[in-house]
Structures are given as structure tokens and as C-alpha cells.
Amino acid sequence: MNRRAMLQVGGLGLAGAAGIDLSDLLAAKAEKNHYTTGKSVIFLLQHGGPTQHETFDPKMDVDEAIRTVGGVTQTKIPGVHFGSTFSRLAGLADKLAVVRSYVGGSSGHGIRPIISNETLKANLGSVYARLVGTNHSQTGIPTNIAIDPTAVEPDDNGPDVRFGTFVQTGELEKMYEPFVPGGGSNMQKNMRLALPISRFDDRKGLLQSLDGLKSELDSTGVLDGVGKFREQAYDMLIRGVAKAFDVTKEDPATIARYDTSQYISDSKFADKKNGQSGRHWYQTNARTLGRLLLLARRLCEAGAGFVTVTTQFVWDMHADGNNVGVGRGMDAVGNPFDHAVSAFIEDCEARGLSDDIMLVTTGEMGRTPRINKNGGRDHWGRIAPLMIYGGGVAHGQVIGQSSKDGGEPITSAWKNENLVATILHNLFDIGELRLESGLPVDLVRFATTGTPIAGLTA
């Protein structure tokens, strides 16, 4: 692993290190963060705007121009149905919570709600990293990570950033941006640990120079009693960070369980630009989504607190020259989503992680109640699908209700700021955070004063 690759971990760098030992930094960090819950959040962005009618809020007793395409499937919750594509998730409905009165707030494309005015125009994970530090005190894993298809397929397409980049930090310092592995870089290859230990030259000298956590030190001076952290500091990148990224360490049966490659089709969507040479969005999504969620779970187990997962701009189902309609769209996008998310839920349940990791899935908006002349649904900002699993939320429930045509809430509308507050309340002990000194007052106020979605707390 070359020096540059190692320095990329967590945004760490050489500048200004001034001889500060990483073990000192880790020791300082270990004494902090009693105001966190120890839980993690994975935010799976359904970029492009998922349809509510064909996912978690189907409508059948309506005019044909509105009716859910493909029919419905009965869930484990009596009287509750999902779109027919979500047959696996329907069998796990008692493990998750669906919000049917969530409003994205805009009918235009963007990267809401992961980055919006309600997140201080920063990746929400950057807000988390600013409050807890850039690296986990025990494992050294970056606390804020963003993964896209290149994290598991280095030569594949990365995320669509036409509407904003997922590493934005707003007014926060750049050091709090998400760590982004992949992109065909040496980092991606090195994370597989293909090189022998002897090739990791001058590890101790390198680690002496890392300064990503130095701002976390007590301003009064270097803390005492850090000897127990020295061995951890020397080995954290190899035994902690790199190991977490090496998905091949998983049991083959687990890897197979997450595999969504069966949904790849090189010809099925060739009449659309998203399926043609040079973009392959549908294929990339199917090839990588399951493995991305497996990787996200591993990162959370290793100590990451916030993981952003993005694939491609595939939920845009206008049925125009670029994109397919809702019928073909749910075939192309809904099937791998149903498979990957259900595999993730089953895996977390089997590992006893249901209280430790929260999975949030939504997009920047929803889709029109009325199907257009081409068989697609257009942009719609008055309501959007939202599903939350884990993190100790009260599961097996549907929160809120939409109108008969699925076009707007008829119960209390929950907005982006409520979703952000829900996530932050899952990550932090709000009472303790309010009392913590030494953190930016405005940021603490932001993280502690929002109103979470009612009914999600177990």
C-alpha cells in the first residue's frame, strides 16, 4: 500500500502534523463521545425519485390511470400491501417501518435529503463526523463514509453528481467530508490486502505523521496515559480499516445472499440511454447494489457511524427517451432493491444488529399519481416513499396515510427536517449532547432541537 493511498483513509494528511502521534489522538478520542448512542446509520438514496405507488403505498381501488402497475403483494402486516415487485420485503414488513406521509418538499431532482438546507448543506454524515471526530477511537475506521458502485467494482460507473456531489460539507471544514473508496484507484486494490505485510513500508513513521484527529486533542496539551493505544495506532489501518473494506472475508454463502447480479440485462433496456454503452445505469445498479449494502454493514460493524450508499440515477421513471416507465422500471430497479434490502435485513437480524444499525431508504421526491401517456410517472414533490429499518425503531408499522390517489398526505406530513432529526436522535444521546462543552454551539443546537417522526421510537 503506497503512502498516498494510506493517507486517503478518513481524509488524513501530513500537513501540520508537527510530530503528533496518532496514538495520542486515539487516546483523546476514546475519552470523548459519551454523548453518542453507539449506533450507525446507512442512508440508501433512491436517486431519481422513487414511485410511491409501486413501492410502499400502492393504490388499487382507483382509476386505471392512477392504479399501481403490476398489482400488489400482501405483507406480514394484516391489511398492508406493497407493490408486487417487493415480495421479499413484504415478508419482512414486521421488521421495518413505512412512512406514507413523508414529503420531500420539491419536485426537482437533487440529492435531498442526504444534502439539503435541512442538513446545513452538508452531507449529514459530515455533521455527525464534526460532532464525534473523523475516525473511530477503537478501530480507526472513518466515521463518515460514502460508497458508490466503484467501491466494489472499480471500473464501473460512479454516482450521478449532476445535481450535487455527495461529499459536500457546507460550512464545515473539508476534513469532515465522507471518505470515498474506489474509483479504480490504488486504494481500492490495496483494500483487498493482496500485498504481503512486508510491503507496508515504514508504517510507524507514516502513522506518526497522520493528523486527521489532531483537532480533537485537548487544547491544554497532550494527554497522559496513551501507551495502551500505541499498538492499536500502528495496526489500525491494516487490521481495522482495510479488513472492513475487504468483502471477500465474508462467508461465501453471505456474499451469495446479497448478490443482485441476476437482474443484469445487457439488452433489455438498450432502447433507453440509461441502458446504452457508456452509461449502463440499470446494469450497474443491479451488479453492485447488494454488495454495497453488504459492505455498508461491514463498515458499520467496524465503527463507521454514517454510511451514504448511492448507485445510479435509476429511479427516474418518466418513460421517455432516457428512462423506462414504472412497469419496466420496477423490473430493472425494484427487483435488485427488493433483493438487496431484504438480504440486508435478514443478515442484520441473524447477526443481532437490528438495534445497532438503522437503514433509511428514500429519494429526493416521489412520482405523480397519474401515469403519463408513455406509461411513466413524472416528478412529484408532495409525497414520497420512506422506509426505515433497525436502530431500535418500532417496527411492523405504517406511519401516516396518503390520499386515495396517493398524491399527498391526509395525516400529519413528515418533512426532511423530521427525517434528519430522526436520524440524529438515533445517533446521539440528545440530553448528553446538549450538555457537552467544547463543541460548536450552533451545531449542537441544530442536532438536538429537531422534531423526529412521531411513532418511530420503540
* Domain architecture of the chain: domains with CATH: 1-31+193-245 (no CATH), 36-185+247-448 (3.40.720)
Least confident among 141-145, 191-195, 374-378: 191-195
Q: Burial level of 34, CB count in 10 A (0-12/13-18/19+)?
A: exposed
DSSP run (H or E) holding 118: none
pLDDT at 334 over 60: yes
Mean pLDDT of the chain: 83
pLDDT at 458 over 80: no
Least confident among 99-103, 203-207, 224-228, 313-317: 203-207
> pLDDT (tens digit, 9 = 90+) per residue, 275-323?
776 678 899 999 999 999 999 999 999 999 999 999 889 999 999 878 8
pLDDT band at 220 (very low <50, low <70, confident <90, very high): very low
Percent of the chain topping pLDDT 90: 64
- Residue 130 CA to residue 107 CA, distance in Å, equals 31
Least confident among 15-29, 120-134, 169-183, 326-340: 15-29
Global pTM value: 0.86
Location of C-alpha cell 449502463:
280
Least confident among 97-106, 275-284, 365-374, 421-430: 275-284
pLDDT band at 260 (very low <50, low <70, confident <90, very high): very high
CA atoms within 13 A on the CB side of 141: 26
Question: Which has more pLDDT, 26 or 322?
Answer: 322
pLDDT at 33 over 90: no
CA dihedral 104, 125, 456, 354 (to 10 degrees): 130
Phi first, then psi: what are they for 198, rounded to 5°? -60, -20
**Which residues lie below 8 Å from residue 226, measured CB to CB, with a gap of 6+?**
21, 23, 24, 26, 27
Closest alpha carbon to 96 in 153, 170, 154, 44: 44
Location of C-alpha cell 408486487:
84
pLDDT at 213 over 50: no
- Residue 42 CA to residue 105 CA, distance in Å, equals 22
Phi first, then psi: what are they for 28, rounded to 5°? -60, -40
Averaged over 405-418, what is the pLDDT?
97
Percent of the chain topping pLDDT 70: 79
> pLDDT (tens digit, 9 = 90+) per residue, 125-169?
999 999 999 888 777 788 999 999 988 888 888 888 889 999 999
Q: Is the peptide bond before 113 cis (omega within 30 degrees of 0)?
A: yes
Cβ contact 93:76 at 8 Å: yes
Sign of CA dihedral 204, 146, 160, 421: negative
- The pLDDT score that the predictor gives to residue 278 is 64
Phi first, then psi: what are they for 194, rounded to 5°? -75, -20
Instruction: From residue 70, give the alpha-carbon distance in Å to each of 83, 86, 295.
Output: 7, 11, 32
pLDDT at 225 over 60: no
- Residue 315 CA to residue 83 CA, distance in Å, equals 15
- The pLDDT score that the predictor gives to residue 93 is 98
Least confident among 48-62, 216-230, 349-363, 438-452: 216-230
pLDDT at 197 over 70: no
Closest alpha carbon to 158 in 292, 268, 303, 316: 292
> pLDDT (tens digit, 9 = 90+) per residue, 414-451?
999 999 999 999 999 999 999 998 899 999 999 999 99
Question: Which has more pLDDT, 316 or 200?
Answer: 316
Least confident among 198-212, 224-238, 340-354: 198-212
**Which residues lie below 8 Å from residue 56, measured CB to CB, with a gap of 6+?**
82, 83, 86, 98, 100, 385, 386, 387
Greatest mean pLDDT among 67-76, 183-192, 261-270 lies in 67-76
Please write down the HEC assignment for all residues of 381-448: CCCEEEEEEECCECCCEEECCECCCCCCECCCCEEHHHHHHHHHHHHECHHHHHHCCCCCHHHHHHHH
Averaged over 392-414, what is the pLDDT?
97
Least confident among 94-108, 113-127, 195-209, 231-245: 195-209
Cross-strand bridge partners of residue 428: 36
Cross-strand bridge partners of residue 390: 358
pLDDT band at 243 (very low <50, low <70, confident <90, very high): confident
Instruction: From residue 89, give the alpha-carbon distance in Å to each of 8, 337, 457.
Output: 37, 9, 21
Instruction: From residue 353, give the alpha-carbon distance in Å to each of 38, 40, 308, 344.
Output: 12, 10, 18, 10
Distance, C-alpha 356 to centroid of its chain = 15
pLDDT at 202 over 90: no
25: helix, strand or coil: helix
Phi first, then psi: what are they for 165, rounded to 5°? -95, 150
pLDDT at 92 over 90: yes
Cβ contact 298:357 at 8 Å: no
**Which residues lie below 8 Å from residue 28, measured CB to CB, with a gap of 6+?**
213, 216, 217, 218, 223
Question: How many other C-beta atoms can be found within 10 angstroms of the C-beta atom of residue 413?
Answer: 16
